[in-house]
Amino acid sequence: MTSGATTLAVRGGTPVRTRPFPTWPVFDGSDEARVLEALRSGKWGRLAGDQVDQFEQRFAAMHGCRYGIAMVNGTVTLRIALMAAGLQAEDEVIVPTYTFLSTATAVVEANAVPVFVDVDLATFNLDPAAVQAAITPRTRAVVPVHFAGQTADLDAIRDIAARHDLFVLEDAAHAHGARHWERPAGSVGHAGSFSFQSSKNLTSGEGGILVTNDEQLAARCRSIHNCGRVPGGVWYEHHVISGNYRLGELQGALLNAQLERLERQTATRDANGRALAARLAAIPGVHPQQRPEWCTRHSQHLFMLRLDAETFGAPREAAIEALQAEGIPCVSGYGYPLPEQPLFRNKAFGPYLPHARARLDYTQVSCPHSQRLCREQAVWLDQSLLLGTDEDMRDIGDAFEKVHAGLQTT
Ligand SMILES: Cc1ncc(COP(=O)(O)O)c(C=O)c1O
Protein backbone atom coordinates (compact mmCIF):
# COMPACT_ATOMS: atom_id res chain seq x y z
CA MET A 1 0.00 0.00 0.00
CA THR A 2 1.35 3.49 -0.81
CA SER A 3 0.56 6.45 1.45
CA GLY A 4 -1.52 9.44 0.28
CA ALA A 5 1.72 11.43 0.03
CA THR A 6 3.32 9.04 -2.45
CA THR A 7 0.23 7.98 -4.39
CA LEU A 8 0.17 10.03 -7.55
CA ALA A 9 -2.49 12.75 -7.56
CA VAL A 10 -3.60 11.44 -10.93
CA ARG A 11 -4.56 8.23 -9.09
CA GLY A 12 -6.28 9.99 -6.21
CA GLY A 13 -3.28 10.87 -4.01
CA THR A 14 -2.53 14.27 -2.49
CA PRO A 15 -1.00 16.71 -4.98
CA VAL A 16 2.49 18.05 -4.23
CA ARG A 17 1.21 21.52 -4.93
CA THR A 18 -2.16 23.16 -4.43
CA ARG A 19 -1.05 26.81 -4.22
CA PRO A 20 -0.85 28.69 -7.50
CA PHE A 21 2.48 29.70 -9.03
CA PRO A 22 3.21 33.35 -9.87
CA THR A 23 0.97 34.63 -12.65
CA TRP A 24 1.82 36.79 -15.66
CA PRO A 25 1.84 39.69 -16.40
CA VAL A 26 3.13 41.44 -13.29
CA PHE A 27 1.93 45.04 -12.85
CA ASP A 28 1.12 47.60 -10.18
CA GLY A 29 0.44 51.31 -9.70
CA SER A 30 3.61 52.30 -11.55
CA ASP A 31 2.25 50.74 -14.76
CA GLU A 32 -1.14 52.36 -14.19
CA ALA A 33 0.46 55.77 -13.64
CA ARG A 34 2.54 55.56 -16.79
CA VAL A 35 -0.31 54.38 -19.02
CA LEU A 36 -2.66 56.95 -17.50
CA GLU A 37 -0.13 59.68 -18.18
CA ALA A 38 0.00 58.65 -21.84
CA LEU A 39 -3.79 58.37 -21.97
CA ARG A 40 -4.35 61.80 -20.44
CA SER A 41 -1.79 63.40 -22.73
CA GLY A 42 -4.14 62.67 -25.62
CA LYS A 43 -1.03 61.78 -27.63
CA TRP A 44 -1.79 58.17 -28.42
CA GLY A 45 0.21 57.76 -31.62
CA ARG A 46 3.99 57.63 -31.62
CA LEU A 47 4.28 60.53 -34.02
CA ALA A 48 2.74 62.80 -31.36
CA GLY A 49 4.05 61.48 -28.05
CA ASP A 50 7.42 60.49 -26.64
CA GLN A 51 6.75 57.17 -24.83
CA VAL A 52 7.76 54.91 -27.71
CA ASP A 53 10.71 57.15 -28.45
CA GLN A 54 11.91 56.90 -24.86
CA PHE A 55 11.42 53.16 -24.80
CA GLU A 56 13.37 52.67 -28.02
CA GLN A 57 16.29 54.62 -26.62
CA ARG A 58 16.26 52.79 -23.29
CA PHE A 59 15.94 49.32 -24.82
CA ALA A 60 18.63 49.98 -27.43
CA ALA A 61 21.00 51.38 -24.78
CA MET A 62 20.40 48.35 -22.58
CA HIS A 63 21.64 46.27 -25.52
CA GLY A 64 24.65 48.42 -26.29
CA CYS A 65 22.96 49.27 -29.59
CA ARG A 66 22.69 52.69 -31.17
CA TYR A 67 19.29 52.04 -32.73
CA GLY A 68 15.99 50.57 -31.65
CA ILE A 69 12.86 50.64 -33.81
CA ALA A 70 9.67 49.59 -32.02
CA MET A 71 6.96 47.98 -34.14
CA VAL A 72 3.57 46.34 -33.83
CA ASN A 73 4.89 42.83 -33.15
CA GLY A 74 7.88 40.53 -33.34
CA THR A 75 6.86 39.04 -36.69
CA VAL A 76 6.91 42.37 -38.48
CA THR A 77 10.31 43.19 -36.93
CA LEU A 78 11.75 40.02 -38.49
CA ARG A 79 10.21 40.73 -41.89
CA ILE A 80 11.24 44.37 -41.96
CA ALA A 81 14.81 43.53 -40.90
CA LEU A 82 15.07 41.07 -43.79
CA MET A 83 13.61 43.58 -46.24
CA ALA A 84 15.96 46.29 -44.97
CA ALA A 85 18.94 43.94 -45.32
CA GLY A 86 18.35 44.07 -49.06
CA LEU A 87 17.09 40.56 -49.70
CA GLN A 88 15.94 40.01 -53.25
CA ALA A 89 12.99 37.87 -54.28
CA GLU A 90 13.67 34.17 -53.68
CA ASP A 91 16.94 34.61 -51.83
CA GLU A 92 17.34 31.87 -49.23
CA VAL A 93 17.20 32.37 -45.48
CA ILE A 94 18.18 29.62 -43.04
CA VAL A 95 15.77 29.13 -40.13
CA PRO A 96 15.38 26.40 -37.48
CA THR A 97 12.75 23.68 -37.73
CA TYR A 98 11.94 23.98 -34.02
CA THR A 99 10.55 27.49 -33.49
CA PHE A 100 7.36 29.52 -33.64
CA LEU A 101 5.73 29.99 -37.02
CA SER A 102 6.85 33.62 -37.46
CA THR A 103 10.57 32.87 -37.77
CA ALA A 104 9.79 31.26 -41.12
CA THR A 105 6.66 33.11 -42.28
CA ALA A 106 8.47 36.44 -41.91
CA VAL A 107 10.89 35.10 -44.52
CA VAL A 108 8.08 34.22 -46.94
CA GLU A 109 6.48 37.62 -46.36
CA ALA A 110 9.81 39.19 -47.27
CA ASN A 111 9.42 37.23 -50.53
CA ALA A 112 12.38 35.04 -49.66
CA VAL A 113 12.70 31.27 -49.30
CA PRO A 114 12.93 29.73 -45.82
CA VAL A 115 15.45 26.88 -45.74
CA PHE A 116 14.84 24.71 -42.69
CA VAL A 117 17.67 23.35 -40.60
CA ASP A 118 17.34 20.99 -37.65
CA VAL A 119 18.25 21.90 -34.09
CA ASP A 120 20.71 20.29 -31.71
CA LEU A 121 19.00 17.73 -29.50
CA ALA A 122 20.73 18.89 -26.34
CA THR A 123 20.40 22.70 -26.67
CA PHE A 124 17.24 22.94 -28.85
CA ASN A 125 19.03 25.61 -30.88
CA LEU A 126 20.33 25.71 -34.48
CA ASP A 127 23.09 23.23 -35.15
CA PRO A 128 25.90 25.19 -36.87
CA ALA A 129 27.12 22.12 -38.79
CA ALA A 130 23.63 21.78 -40.28
CA VAL A 131 23.61 25.50 -41.09
CA GLN A 132 26.90 25.13 -42.94
CA ALA A 133 25.55 22.15 -44.87
CA ALA A 134 22.43 24.08 -45.94
CA ILE A 135 24.29 26.97 -47.57
CA THR A 136 23.86 27.39 -51.32
CA PRO A 137 24.85 30.19 -53.70
CA ARG A 138 21.39 31.72 -53.00
CA THR A 139 21.76 31.88 -49.19
CA ARG A 140 21.69 35.45 -47.92
CA ALA A 141 20.73 35.29 -44.26
CA VAL A 142 20.40 33.10 -41.20
CA VAL A 143 17.95 33.57 -38.32
CA PRO A 144 19.16 31.89 -35.13
CA VAL A 145 16.42 31.67 -32.52
CA HIS A 146 17.49 31.81 -28.87
CA PHE A 147 15.08 29.08 -28.01
CA ALA A 148 13.46 29.28 -24.58
CA GLY A 149 15.82 32.18 -23.81
CA GLN A 150 19.14 30.39 -24.25
CA THR A 151 21.48 31.99 -26.74
CA ALA A 152 22.22 29.96 -29.86
CA ASP A 153 25.78 29.13 -30.92
CA LEU A 154 26.30 32.65 -32.22
CA ASP A 155 30.08 32.39 -32.39
CA ALA A 156 29.97 29.48 -34.84
CA ILE A 157 27.04 31.00 -36.75
CA ARG A 158 28.77 34.36 -37.08
CA ASP A 159 31.92 32.62 -38.38
CA ILE A 160 29.89 30.80 -41.03
CA ALA A 161 28.05 34.01 -41.86
CA ALA A 162 31.30 35.95 -42.23
CA ARG A 163 32.66 33.32 -44.63
CA HIS A 164 29.52 33.40 -46.78
CA ASP A 165 28.58 37.05 -46.38
CA LEU A 166 25.27 36.29 -44.65
CA PHE A 167 23.06 38.64 -42.69
CA VAL A 168 22.62 37.36 -39.11
CA LEU A 169 19.24 38.25 -37.65
CA GLU A 170 18.83 37.06 -34.06
CA ASP A 171 15.27 36.06 -33.28
CA ALA A 172 15.37 37.04 -29.62
CA ALA A 173 11.61 36.79 -29.07
CA HIS A 174 12.32 34.53 -26.07
CA ALA A 175 15.52 36.17 -24.96
CA HIS A 176 14.86 39.52 -23.26
CA GLY A 177 17.73 40.01 -20.82
CA ALA A 178 19.62 36.86 -21.88
CA ARG A 179 23.38 37.18 -22.36
CA HIS A 180 25.91 35.60 -24.67
CA TRP A 181 29.39 35.83 -23.09
CA GLU A 182 27.84 38.75 -21.20
CA ARG A 183 26.73 40.50 -24.39
CA PRO A 184 22.96 41.08 -24.49
CA ALA A 185 21.10 38.65 -26.73
CA GLY A 186 19.97 40.53 -29.82
CA SER A 187 23.12 42.66 -29.99
CA VAL A 188 25.55 40.05 -31.31
CA GLY A 189 24.35 39.58 -34.90
CA HIS A 190 23.66 42.34 -37.44
CA ALA A 191 20.25 42.90 -35.83
CA GLY A 192 18.12 41.47 -33.05
CA SER A 193 14.34 41.08 -33.03
CA PHE A 194 12.16 40.97 -29.89
CA SER A 195 8.46 40.36 -29.31
CA PHE A 196 6.31 41.95 -26.60
CA GLN A 197 3.30 39.67 -27.13
CA SER A 198 1.40 38.73 -23.95
CA SER A 199 3.39 35.63 -22.98
CA LYS A 200 6.81 37.25 -23.44
CA ASN A 201 9.22 38.13 -20.62
CA LEU A 202 8.69 41.81 -21.43
CA THR A 203 5.19 42.56 -22.63
CA SER A 204 2.75 45.25 -23.66
CA GLY A 205 0.13 42.78 -24.90
CA GLU A 206 1.45 43.11 -28.44
CA GLY A 207 4.56 44.78 -29.80
CA GLY A 208 8.12 44.23 -30.93
CA ILE A 209 11.44 45.97 -31.42
CA LEU A 210 14.44 45.65 -33.65
CA VAL A 211 17.87 46.63 -32.33
CA THR A 212 21.03 47.18 -34.36
CA ASN A 213 24.24 49.14 -34.55
CA ASP A 214 24.03 49.43 -38.33
CA GLU A 215 23.02 52.98 -39.19
CA GLN A 216 21.89 52.22 -42.72
CA LEU A 217 19.89 49.19 -41.68
CA ALA A 218 18.22 51.18 -38.91
CA ALA A 219 17.31 54.00 -41.29
CA ARG A 220 15.76 51.53 -43.74
CA CYS A 221 13.81 49.78 -40.99
CA ARG A 222 12.54 53.08 -39.65
CA SER A 223 11.40 54.10 -43.10
CA ILE A 224 9.71 50.77 -43.90
CA HIS A 225 7.89 50.78 -40.54
CA ASN A 226 6.66 54.31 -41.19
CA CYS A 227 5.03 54.13 -44.63
CA GLY A 228 8.32 54.53 -46.50
CA ARG A 229 8.88 58.06 -45.24
CA VAL A 230 12.42 59.42 -44.97
CA PRO A 231 13.80 61.92 -42.43
CA GLY A 232 13.00 65.47 -43.50
CA GLY A 233 10.89 64.12 -46.37
CA VAL A 234 7.50 65.31 -47.51
CA TRP A 235 4.63 63.75 -45.49
CA TYR A 236 2.87 62.13 -48.46
CA GLU A 237 6.03 61.00 -50.14
CA HIS A 238 6.74 57.24 -49.85
CA HIS A 239 10.08 55.86 -50.95
CA VAL A 240 9.90 52.10 -50.51
CA ILE A 241 7.35 49.33 -50.25
CA SER A 242 6.20 49.70 -46.68
CA GLY A 243 3.26 50.33 -44.37
CA ASN A 244 2.32 51.60 -40.94
CA TYR A 245 3.91 49.28 -38.39
CA ARG A 246 4.42 51.90 -35.67
CA LEU A 247 3.89 50.96 -32.04
CA GLY A 248 1.29 53.01 -30.13
CA GLU A 249 2.02 55.31 -27.20
CA LEU A 250 -0.07 53.40 -24.63
CA GLN A 251 1.99 50.31 -25.35
CA GLY A 252 5.16 52.38 -25.23
CA ALA A 253 4.13 53.71 -21.82
CA LEU A 254 3.45 50.21 -20.53
CA LEU A 255 6.80 48.99 -21.82
CA ASN A 256 8.57 51.87 -20.07
CA ALA A 257 7.02 50.75 -16.80
CA GLN A 258 7.56 47.02 -17.41
CA LEU A 259 11.20 47.57 -18.34
CA GLU A 260 11.94 48.66 -14.76
CA ARG A 261 11.35 45.07 -13.62
CA LEU A 262 13.10 43.17 -16.39
CA GLU A 263 16.57 43.05 -14.85
CA ARG A 264 15.38 41.71 -11.51
CA GLN A 265 12.92 39.27 -13.08
CA THR A 266 15.58 37.93 -15.45
CA ALA A 267 18.04 37.37 -12.60
CA THR A 268 15.34 35.45 -10.70
CA ARG A 269 14.39 33.29 -13.69
CA ASP A 270 18.03 32.58 -14.45
CA ALA A 271 18.88 31.52 -10.88
CA ASN A 272 15.74 29.40 -10.58
CA GLY A 273 16.40 27.84 -13.98
CA ARG A 274 19.91 26.78 -12.96
CA ALA A 275 18.68 25.28 -9.69
CA LEU A 276 15.78 23.46 -11.32
CA ALA A 277 17.94 22.10 -14.15
CA ALA A 278 20.49 20.74 -11.67
CA ARG A 279 17.82 18.99 -9.66
CA LEU A 280 15.82 17.56 -12.58
CA ALA A 281 18.93 16.33 -14.39
CA ALA A 282 19.41 13.79 -11.59
CA ILE A 283 16.14 12.04 -12.52
CA PRO A 284 16.62 9.17 -15.01
CA GLY A 285 15.35 10.11 -18.46
CA VAL A 286 14.95 13.84 -17.69
CA HIS A 287 17.23 16.06 -19.79
CA PRO A 288 16.86 19.79 -19.17
CA GLN A 289 18.03 22.08 -22.00
CA GLN A 290 21.81 21.73 -21.94
CA ARG A 291 23.34 25.09 -21.20
CA PRO A 292 26.58 25.99 -22.98
CA GLU A 293 29.17 28.21 -21.26
CA TRP A 294 28.47 31.07 -23.62
CA CYS A 295 24.95 31.54 -22.30
CA THR A 296 25.99 33.56 -19.29
CA ARG A 297 22.39 34.49 -18.58
CA HIS A 298 19.34 32.48 -19.63
CA SER A 299 16.08 34.40 -19.77
CA GLN A 300 14.02 31.21 -19.28
CA HIS A 301 11.07 32.28 -21.36
CA LEU A 302 10.47 28.57 -21.12
CA PHE A 303 12.07 25.97 -18.95
CA MET A 304 12.34 23.17 -21.46
CA LEU A 305 13.45 19.60 -21.10
CA ARG A 306 13.47 16.31 -22.94
CA LEU A 307 11.79 13.37 -21.36
CA ASP A 308 13.16 10.10 -22.65
CA ALA A 309 10.27 7.66 -22.11
CA GLU A 310 12.40 4.55 -22.05
CA THR A 311 14.77 5.72 -19.33
CA PHE A 312 12.10 7.67 -17.47
CA GLY A 313 9.89 4.62 -17.44
CA ALA A 314 6.74 6.23 -18.85
CA PRO A 315 5.67 8.13 -21.96
CA ARG A 316 5.72 11.93 -21.98
CA GLU A 317 1.94 12.25 -22.15
CA ALA A 318 1.50 10.20 -18.97
CA ALA A 319 4.19 12.23 -17.23
CA ILE A 320 2.58 15.54 -18.22
CA GLU A 321 -0.83 14.39 -17.08
CA ALA A 322 0.61 13.25 -13.76
CA LEU A 323 2.62 16.47 -13.29
CA GLN A 324 -0.42 18.60 -14.00
CA ALA A 325 -2.38 16.60 -11.43
CA GLU A 326 0.44 17.30 -8.93
CA GLY A 327 -0.18 21.01 -9.51
CA ILE A 328 2.70 21.66 -11.94
CA PRO A 329 1.51 23.42 -15.11
CA CYS A 330 3.41 22.00 -18.08
CA VAL A 331 2.75 21.23 -21.76
CA SER A 332 4.35 19.37 -24.65
CA GLY A 333 4.77 22.45 -26.88
CA TYR A 334 4.75 22.34 -30.68
CA GLY A 335 2.88 19.38 -32.15
CA TYR A 336 5.21 19.08 -35.14
CA PRO A 337 8.22 20.77 -36.68
CA LEU A 338 7.54 23.89 -38.73
CA PRO A 339 8.06 22.37 -42.21
CA GLU A 340 5.26 19.89 -41.39
CA GLN A 341 2.77 22.71 -40.88
CA PRO A 342 0.08 22.59 -43.59
CA LEU A 343 1.19 26.06 -44.69
CA PHE A 344 4.61 24.72 -45.72
CA ARG A 345 3.48 21.29 -46.82
CA ASN A 346 0.99 22.97 -49.21
CA LYS A 347 3.19 25.95 -49.98
CA ALA A 348 0.19 28.15 -49.24
CA PHE A 349 2.19 31.32 -49.80
CA GLY A 350 -0.41 33.40 -51.60
CA PRO A 351 1.31 35.79 -53.97
CA TYR A 352 4.79 35.16 -52.54
CA LEU A 353 7.53 33.04 -54.14
CA PRO A 354 5.61 32.14 -57.33
CA HIS A 355 8.74 31.02 -59.22
CA ALA A 356 10.44 29.22 -56.32
CA ARG A 357 7.43 27.10 -55.52
CA ALA A 358 8.17 24.49 -58.16
CA ARG A 359 11.60 23.77 -56.69
CA LEU A 360 10.45 23.82 -53.05
CA ASP A 361 9.57 20.53 -51.43
CA TYR A 362 9.03 20.89 -47.72
CA THR A 363 7.96 17.24 -47.45
CA GLN A 364 11.61 16.22 -47.80
CA VAL A 365 13.06 18.35 -44.97
CA SER A 366 15.07 16.15 -42.64
CA CYS A 367 14.70 17.18 -38.99
CA PRO A 368 14.80 14.06 -36.82
CA HIS A 369 15.70 16.00 -33.67
CA SER A 370 12.78 18.41 -34.01
CA GLN A 371 10.49 15.50 -34.79
CA ARG A 372 11.60 13.71 -31.66
CA LEU A 373 11.10 16.83 -29.56
CA CYS A 374 7.64 17.49 -30.98
CA ARG A 375 6.30 13.95 -31.11
CA GLU A 376 7.89 12.32 -28.09
CA GLN A 377 10.08 14.28 -25.75
CA ALA A 378 9.64 18.04 -25.24
CA VAL A 379 8.15 19.35 -22.01
CA TRP A 380 7.71 23.09 -21.44
CA LEU A 381 7.21 25.01 -18.22
CA ASP A 382 6.20 28.66 -18.53
CA GLN A 383 8.46 31.58 -17.57
CA SER A 384 6.12 32.79 -14.83
CA LEU A 385 6.81 29.64 -12.79
CA LEU A 386 10.47 30.62 -12.81
CA LEU A 387 9.58 33.89 -11.08
CA GLY A 388 8.79 31.84 -7.98
CA THR A 389 10.70 31.14 -4.79
CA ASP A 390 13.18 28.40 -3.84
CA GLU A 391 10.21 26.61 -2.31
CA ASP A 392 8.32 26.79 -5.61
CA MET A 393 11.30 25.23 -7.42
CA ARG A 394 11.48 22.57 -4.72
CA ASP A 395 7.83 21.69 -5.35
CA ILE A 396 8.51 21.30 -9.07
CA GLY A 397 11.48 19.03 -8.31
CA ASP A 398 9.45 17.03 -5.77
CA ALA A 399 6.64 16.57 -8.28
CA PHE A 400 8.98 15.33 -11.01
CA GLU A 401 10.58 12.86 -8.59
CA LYS A 402 7.20 11.69 -7.34
CA VAL A 403 5.88 11.23 -10.87
CA HIS A 404 9.02 9.38 -11.93
CA ALA A 405 8.77 7.00 -8.97
CA GLY A 406 4.98 6.64 -9.23
CA LEU A 407 4.87 5.85 -12.92
CA GLN A 408 7.43 3.05 -12.55
CA THR A 409 4.79 0.97 -10.79
CA THR A 410 2.34 0.86 -13.68
C1 LIG B 1 10.57 32.51 -31.61
C2 LIG B 1 9.52 33.54 -31.94
N3 LIG B 1 9.75 34.38 -32.95
C4 LIG B 1 8.86 35.32 -33.31
C5 LIG B 1 7.68 35.47 -32.63
C6 LIG B 1 6.67 36.47 -33.12
O7 LIG B 1 6.33 37.44 -32.22
P8 LIG B 1 4.89 38.16 -32.31
O9 LIG B 1 3.87 37.24 -31.76
O10 LIG B 1 5.10 39.40 -31.47
O11 LIG B 1 4.64 38.49 -33.73
C12 LIG B 1 7.39 34.63 -31.55
C13 LIG B 1 6.14 34.78 -30.81
O14 LIG B 1 5.60 33.92 -30.17
C15 LIG B 1 8.34 33.63 -31.20
O16 LIG B 1 8.11 32.77 -30.19
What is the CA(173)–ligand 1 centre distance, in A?
A: 5
Per-residue pLDDT at 1 exceeds 90: no
pLDDT digits (tens, 9 = 90+) for 285-323: 999 999 999 999 999 999 999 999 999 999 999 999 999
pLDDT tens-digit series, residues 194-244:
999 999 999 999 999 999 999 999 999 999 999 999 999 999 999 999 999
Q: Is the CB of 173 under 6 A from ligand 1?
A: yes
CA 102–ligand 1 middle distance (angstroms): 6
Mean pLDDT across 162-187 = 98
pLDDT, position 73: 98
What is the rounded distance in angstroms from the CA atom of residue 67 to the CA atom of residue 376? Answer: 42
Mean pLDDT rounded to a whole number for the chain? 97
| 96 CA → ligand 1 middle, Å | 13
Distance 42 CA to ligand 1 centre (A): 30
63 pLDDT higher than 50: yes
Percent of the chain clearing pLDDT 70 (strictly above)? 98
Q: Residues 74-89: what's their mean pLDDT?
A: 98
Beta carbon of 102 within 6 Å of any ligand 1 atom:
yes
Q: Give me ligand 1 centre to Cα 10, in Å.
A: 34
58 close to 202: Cβ distance less than 8 angstroms: no
Output the DSSP codes for 251-316: HHHHHHHHHHHHHHHHHHHHHHHHHHHHHHTTSTTEEE----TTEEE---SEEEEEE-HHHHTS-H
What pLDDT shows up at residue 410?
Answer: 53
**Which pTM value belongs to this model?**
0.98
Q: Is the CB of 258 under 6 A from ligand 1?
A: no
Residue among 93, 195, 198 to mutate when testing ligand 1 (max atoms within 8 A of CB): 195
Closest ligand 1 atom to residue 78 Cα is 4
Cβ-contact 137, 116 below 8 angstroms: no
Spatial distance between the Cα atoms of 86 and 103, rounded to a whole number of angstroms: 18
Confidence band of 3 (pLDDT split at 50, 70, 90): low
Residues 193 and 169 sit within 8 Å (Cβ to Cβ): yes
Active-site positions read 200
Q: Is there an atom of ligand 1 within 6 Å of 171 CB?
A: yes
Backbone angles phi, psi at 374, to 5 degrees: -70, -45
Question: What pLDDT score does 2 carry?
Answer: 46
For residues 97-116, give the mean pLDDT.
Answer: 98
Q: What is the mean pLDDT of residues 167-173?
A: 99
Mutate to test the pocket of ligand 1, among 102, 247, 251 (most ligand atoms within 8 A of CB): 102
Q: What is the DSSP string of 147-208?
A: GGG----HHHHHHHHHHHT-EEEEE-TT-TT-EETTEETTSSSSEEEEE--TTSSS-SSS-E
CA gap 33, 26 in Å, rounded: 15
∠ CA 124-128-129, rounded to 5°: 115
Ligand 1 binding pocket includes 280 (Cβ within 6 Å): no
CA distance 140 to 135: 9
* Pocket perturbation via mutation, ligand 1, pick of 73, 80, 100, 176 by most ligand atoms within 8 A of CB: 100
Determine whether the shortest distance from the Cβ of 126 to ligand 1 is under 6 A: no
149 Cα to the center of ligand 1, angstroms? 12
C-alpha span between 363 and 340 (Å, rounded): 7
163 has a pLDDT exceeding 80: yes
- pLDDT for 265-277, tens place per residue? 999 999 999 999 9
Residue 21 has pLDDT above 90, yes or no: yes
